[in-house]
Amino acid sequence: MILHGLKQATGGASVSIDIFQNKINNVSPTNTIDDTDTLQLYFNDALVFPGLINSHDHLDFNLFPKLGKRIYTNYTQWGAYIHQQFKYEINNVLQVPSELRIKWGIYKNLLCGVTTVVNHGERLSLDDALITVYEDTHDLHSPAFEKAWKLKINNPLKRKLSVVIHTGEGTDEEAGDEIHRLISWNILHRNLIGIHGVAMNTQQANHFKAIVWCPQSNYFLLNKTAPIHQLKHNTSVIFGTDSTLTSDWNIWEHIALARKTSLLTDEELYNSLTIEPSKTWGLNTGQLTPGKDADIVITRRKDKKKDLDAFYEVSPADILLIMHQGKIRLFEQELLPQLAPDLRGMHFSLVKINGSFKYVEGNLEALISEIREYLPEFVFPIEIIGRQII
Ligand SMILES: [Zn+2]
């Protein structure tokens, strides 16, 4: 398949991208590739960038509404508060079978152009997920909520895996001390990837391979985020959303907020969603170059804005096509005539998102109606129009 008429989000070059099986085969100045055997898909100066990498989510927690009504000093205070105040709401969501909650968590990410999500928690080991669910890590919840974390972190059998752990999610002294304890107890010098790090200082950042920055969740809970403008000099900064317990379903809202803080430059923020996490997790994505996995997002360019300015204007309604590992997972309705020969026999759902119609792989109608058996009031950000076998 060759995708024509694209403008890169970095550098702004006009390109055509040739995909062979699950890889990018060639990226060249637009319309110079001539291979008539393959499907050619034409866009009109659309924006193209690598599928986004969401480095922190809890896929099974995305049917929760945001829980919490005030600002907390740390995550243990918030945790105690919500379990006391929102017992009914929490139990109500947890009665939905986890398989359904996880499926929705995957769609939450896919609808925004996320093609890799790093799930935190128990291993899900999903077959045939619509996006990459990266789990090749040793996840510990946090020093406060993970029992025997000091033993687990020093388990020699797991020493090759990075330890991914919530840490420093607070504004009080305890949050800073917790990071200190974590570093001191890492006797085997395992690779540490810290989630949140709101209370982290630059010295502590030196001990982490990366920090997962989740600004929207941080502001919701603590009205403060990590000093990323300082930490970025000492560790790698990668971007995460966390679940809808503490943030919006739509990663583009998170990205807009992150940009507003000016803690990263436009380029650094873009890299925190693409090349940086690709390096941290050891993925073959995050760049549009030959040999990389074909994880690609194509969107409209609002007001013909250029490069990263166009990237930061994207919303899910603007997405024209999402490719994951060379497979088309989502596309704008108007592309159906061009794509139909290639997608024949596949199941897609037609959905409306903010006035725009998209085909999304799989049976979203069935998923939503199954979830509604448990949560009749849940408001999904999409409207189902129908489904069809193409
Ligand atoms: Zn989390």
State the DSSP code for 293.
B
Which residues are near ligand 1, the ion (C-beta closer than 5 Å)? 242
Say whether 53-281 and 2-51+285-389 share the same fold.
no
Residues 164, 153: contact at Cβ < 8 Å?
A: no
Q: Where are the beta strands (DSSP E) in the chain?
A: 2-8, 14-20, 23-29, 40-50, 52-57, 114-119, 132-134, 138-140, 163-167, 192-196, 210-213, 236-239, 296-299, 319-324, 327-332, 347-353, 356-361, 383-389
At 74, is the secondary structure helix, strand, or coil?
strand
Residues 6+ apart with CB under 8 A from 104: 62, 63, 367, 371
Looking at CATH, the fold of the domain delimited by 2-51+285-389 is given as Urease, subunit C; domain 1 (2.30.40)
**Residue 282 dihedral angles phi and psi, to the nearest 5°:** 70, 45
Mean pLDDT by 10 residues, the chain (390 residues): 94 92 92 71 95 98 93 89 91 96 98 98 91 97 93 95 96 95 96 97 98 97 97 98 97 98 98 98 97 98 87 97 97 94 92 97 96 96 90
pLDDT for residue 31: 66
- Sheet with 347-353, strands from edge to edge, namely 23-29, 14-20, 2-8, 40-50, 296-299, 319-324, 327-332, 356-361, 347-353, 383-389
Return the CATH number of 53-281, one of 3.40.950.10, 3.20.20.140, 3.40.50.2300, 3.30.565.10.
3.20.20.140
State how far the Cα of 4 lies from the Cα of 11, in Å rounded to an integer: 17
348 CB-contact burial (10 Å; exposed 0-12 / middle 13-18 / buried 19+): buried
Cα-Cα end-to-end distance for the chain: 18
Q: Find the 243 Cα to ligand 1 centroid distance in Å.
A: 7
Between CA 108 and CA 298 the distance in angstroms is 18
Buried b (16+ CB within 10 A) or exposed e, 179-189: beebbeebeee
Q: How far is the CA of 56 from the centre of ligand 1 (A)?
A: 7
Residues 6+ apart with CB under 8 A from 262: 229
Q: What is the pLDDT of residue 35?
A: 64
CA angle 112, 347, 39 (to 5 degrees): 80
Residue 265 CA to ligand 1 center (angstroms) comes to 25
What pLDDT is recorded for position 33? 59
Q: Would you say 113 and 319 are in contact if contact means Cβ atoms under 8 Å apart?
A: yes
- Report the separation in Å between the CA atom of 246 and the middle of ligand 1, taken as the mean of its atom positions: 9
- What single DSSP character describes residue 195? E
Across the chain, how many H-helices and E-strands are there?
14, 18
What pLDDT is recorded for position 388? 83
Contact present, 116 and 132 (Cβ < 8 Å): yes
How many CA atoms are closer than 13 Å to the CA of 149, on its beta-carbon side? 22
pTM of this prediction exceeds 0.95: yes
Tokens of 245: 């317990």
- DSSP string for residues in 80-107: HHHHHH-HHHHHHHHTS-HHHHHHHHHH
Q: What is the pLDDT of residue 128?
A: 87
Compute how many other C-beta atoms are within 10 angstroms of the C-beta atom of residue 345.
6
CA of 57 to the centre of ligand 1 (A): 6
| Nearest residue to 325 via CA among 130, 107, 144, 165 | 130
- Among all chains, which residue has been given the structure tokens 């709101």? 198
CA of 105 to the centre of ligand 1 (A): 13
The identity of residue 244, as a single letter, is T
Contact assessment for residue 66 and residue 216, using Cβ atoms and an 8 Å cutoff: no
Rounded CA-CA distance 261/109 in Å is: 23
Domain ranges across the chain: 2-51+285-389, 53-281
Separation of CA 79 and ligand 1 centre (Å): 12
Cα 222 to averaged position of ligand 1 atoms, centre (Å): 14
| 335 within 8 A of 321, measured Cβ to Cβ | yes
User: How far, in Å, from the CA of 88 to the mean position of ligand 1?
Assistant: 21
CA distance 276 to 34: 33
